[in-house]
A = this chain, B = another copy of it.
Amino acid sequence: MDNNLNSFFAALSDPTRRAVIERLTAGSAPVSELHEPHGMALPSFLKHLGKLESAGMIRSEKTGRVRMVHIEAAPISEAEGWLHHQRKMWEGRLDRLSTLAEKFEKENDDG
A interface bracket (residues with beta carbon within 8 Å of B)? 20 to 34
A interface residue numbers (CB < 8 A to B)? 2, 5-7, 9-10, 12-15, 18, 21-22, 25-27, 71, 73, 76-77, 79-80, 82-84, 86-87, 89-90, 93
Query: What chain B residues lie within 8 Å of A80 (beta carbons)?
Result: 80, 83-84, 87
> Which residue of B has the minimal Cβ distance to A78?
B83
Q: Are A87 and B83 in contact (CB under 8 A)?
A: no
Query: Nearest 9 A-B pairs (CB), nearest first?
Result: A25-B89, A80-B83, A10-B13, A9-B13, A9-B12, A25-B90, A9-B9, A25-B86, A2-B15
A79 and B90 alpha carbons, distance in the complex (Å): 15
